[in-house]
Amino acid sequence: MSTVSAELLEDFFAALQPRLAGTLRTDAMTRALYATDASLYQMMPVGVLLPRHADDVQAALEEARRFGVPVLPRGGGSSLAGQTVGEALVIDFTPHLDAVVELNAEERWVRVQPGLVLDRLDRYLRARAPHLMVGPDPASGKRATLGGMLGNNATGTHSILYGNMVRHVAAAQALLDDGTPVRLEPLPPDAWAERTRRAGREGQLYRDLDALLKAHRDVIERDTPRHWRRNSGYRLEYLLGDERNVAQLLCGSEGTLAVVTELTVRLVDRPRRTALGVVHFHTRREALRAVPTILGTDPSAVEFFDGRSIRQARRSPGFGPRLTFVTGEPGGVLITEYYGETEAELTGRLQALEDTLARAGEGYAVVRVTDPAAVANVWGVRTEALGLIMSVYGDHKPVAFIEDASVPPEHLADYIDALAKMLEETRTEVVFYAHASAGCLHVRPFINTKDAAEVEKMREIALASAELVRKYGGAVSSEHGDGLARSWLTPVLVGPALYEVYRRTKQLFDPHGLLNPGKVVDAPPMTEHLRMGPDYHTLEVLTEQDFSVEGGFARAVELCNGNGACRKLEGGTMCPSFMVLRDEEHTTRGRANALRMALSGALPPETLTGRRMYEVMDLCIQCKACKTECPSNVDMAKLKTEWLARYWQDNPVPARTRLFARLPEVAARVHGPVARVVNWVNRRGLTRRLLDATLGLSRHRTLPSFAPEPFTVWFARQRWRADGPPVVLFPDTFHNHQHPEVARAAARLLDRLGYRVVVPEARVCCGRTYLSKGFVNEAARRALGVVEALYPYVAEGMPVVGLEPSCILTLADEFRTLLPGDPRTRRVADAACTLEVFLAREAGRGALDHVAWTDAPRRVLLHGHCHQKALDGTGPSERCLALPPNYTVETLDAGCCGMAGAFGYEKEHRAVSLAMAERVLAPAVRAAGEETLIVAAGTSCRAQIHDVAGRTALHPAQVLLDALATRA
Query: What single DSSP character describes residue 101?
Result: E
Question: Assign residue 518 a region: left if phi > 0, alpha if psi is -120 to 50, beta otherwise?
Answer: left
- List the one residue out of 199, 201, 198, 206 whose CA is nearest residue 62: 201
Domains 273-390 and 397-448+460-509 equal at CATH topology level: yes
**Degrees to nearest 5, angle at CA 859 with 853 and 863:** 105
Q: How far is CA 11 from CA 4, 8, 86, 376, in A?
A: 11, 5, 20, 53
Query: What single DSSP character describes residue 654?
Result: P
Residues 6+ apart with CB under 8 A from 841: 833, 876
What residues pair up with 440 in beta bridges, in sequence order? 435
Q: What are the backbone dihedrals phi and psi of residue 609, each rounded to the nearest 5 degrees, phi first?
A: -120, 30
Q: What is the pLDDT of residue 652?
A: 97
Residues 52-106 have pLDDT tens digits of: 999 999 999 999 999 999 999 999 999 999 999 999 999 999 999 999 999 999 9
Check: CB of residue 85 under 8 Å from CB of residue 36. Answer: yes
100-269: CATH architecture = 2-Layer Sandwich (3.30)
> Please, what is the angle between helix 673-682 and helix 685-694, to 10°?
80
Q: Which residue has the higher pLDDT, 631 or 273?
A: 273
What CA–CA distance (Å, rounded) separates 535 from 515? 29
pLDDT exceeds cutoff 90 at 229 = no
Return the percentage of the chain with pLDDT > 70, whole number.
Answer: 98
Q: What are the backbone dihedrals phi and psi of residue 24, each rounded to the nearest 5 degrees, phi first?
A: -110, 120
Check: CB of residue 880 under 8 Å from CB of residue 960. Answer: yes
Question: Assign residue 163 a region: left if phi > 0, alpha if psi is -120 to 50, beta otherwise?
Answer: left
Q: How far is CA 701 from CA 528, 684, 693, in A?
A: 53, 12, 14
- List the one residue out of 180, 172, 913, 160 whose CA is nearest residue 577: 913
Q: What is the rounded average pLDDT of the residues 31-36?
A: 97
Q: Which helix (H) or strand (E) holds 667?
A: helix 663-669
Pick from 471-480, 583-592, 616-625: least confident: 471-480
Q: What is the pLDDT of residue 432?
A: 84
Residues 498-521 have pLDDT tens digits of: 999 999 999 999 999 999 999 999
3-state helix, strand, coil in the chain (%, to 5): 45, 15, 40
**How sure is the predictor about 388, in pLDDT bands with cuts at 50, 70 and 90?**
low
CATH top-level class of 852-963: alpha beta
- List the one residue out of 92, 76, 90, 5 whose CA is nearest residue 43: 90
**Cis? peptide before 941, omega within 30° of 0:** no
**Degrees to nearest 5, angle at CA 312 with 867 and 630:** 35
Q: What is the pLDDT of residue 390?
A: 65
- List the one residue out of 156, 157, 134, 158 whose CA is nearest residue 146: 134
- Helices then strands (H, E): number in the chain? 45, 25
Pick from 402-406, 420-424, 624-628, 707-711: least confident: 402-406
Q: DSSP per residue over 419-466, as a string?
A: HHHHHHHTT--EEEEEEGGGTEEEEEEEE-TTSHHHHHHHHHHHHHHH
> Please, what is the angle between helix 776-795 and helix 636-650, to 10°?
130
397-448+460-509: CATH architecture = 2-Layer Sandwich (3.30)
- List the one residue out of 149, 110, 143 whose CA is nearest residue 231: 149
Q: What are the backbone dihedrals phi and psi of residue 319, each rounded to the nearest 5 degrees, phi first?
A: -115, -30
Query: What single DSSP character describes residue 150?
Result: H
**Within 798-938, where are the H helices?**
805-812, 815-818, 823-831, 835-844, 866-871, 875-881, 910-919, 921-927
Answer yes or no: CATH 3.30.70.2190 is held by domain 273-390.
yes
Residues 902-928 have pLDDT tens digits of: 999 999 999 999 999 999 999 999 999
What CA–CA distance (Å, rounded) separates 477 from 480? 7
**Burial of residue 371 (number of CB atoms within 10 Å: 0-12, 13-18, 19+):** exposed
**Within 163-244, where are the H helices?**
189-196, 200-215, 217-223
Q: What is the rounded average pLDDT of the residues 682-691?
A: 93
pLDDT exceeds cutoff 50 at 1 = no
Residues 265-319 have pLDDT tens digits of: 999 999 999 999 999 999 999 999 999 999 999 999 999 988 888 887 887 766 7
Q: What is the rounded average pLDDT of the residues 557-568?
A: 93
Q: What is the rounded average pLDDT of the residues 937-946?
A: 97
6-92: CATH architecture = 2-Layer Sandwich (3.30)
Q: What is the pLDDT of residue 389?
A: 67
**How sure is the predictor about 322, in pLDDT bands with cuts at 50, 70 and 90?**
confident
Pick from 371-385, 741-755, 818-832: least confident: 371-385
Strand-pair category, 756-758 with 726-729: parallel
Q: What is the pLDDT of residue 172?
A: 98
Check: CB of residue 50 under 8 Å from CB of residue 25. Answer: yes
Check: CB of residue 947 under 8 Å from CB of residue 910. Answer: no
Return the percentage of the chain with pLDDT > 90, whole number.
Answer: 86
Q: What are the backbone dihedrals phi and psi of residue 443, each rounded to the nearest 5 degrees, phi first?
A: -120, 120
Q: Which helix (H) or strand (E) holds 48?
A: strand 47-50
Residues 247-262 have pLDDT tens digits of: 999 999 999 999 999 9
Amino acid at site 407: V
Residues 516-548 have pLDDT tens digits of: 999 999 999 999 999 999 999 999 899 999 999
Task: Tell me the pLDDT of the chain averaged across its residues.
Answer: 94
Q: What are the backbone dihedrals phi and psi of residue 122, each rounded to the nearest 5 degrees, phi first?
A: -65, -40
Q: What is the rounded average pLDDT of the residues 387-408?
A: 82
What residues pair up with 442 in beta bridges, in sequence order? 433
Q: What is the pLDDT of residue 105?
A: 97
Residues 6+ apart with CB under 8 A from 740: 707, 709, 710, 711, 714
Q: What is the pLDDT of residue 220?
A: 96
What CA–CA distance (Å, rounded) separates 568 from 144? 9
Q: What are the boundaries of each domain within the chain?
A: 6-92, 100-269, 273-390, 397-448+460-509, 553-651, 661-671+706-842, 852-963
What CA–CA distance (Å, rounded) separates 855 from 965? 8
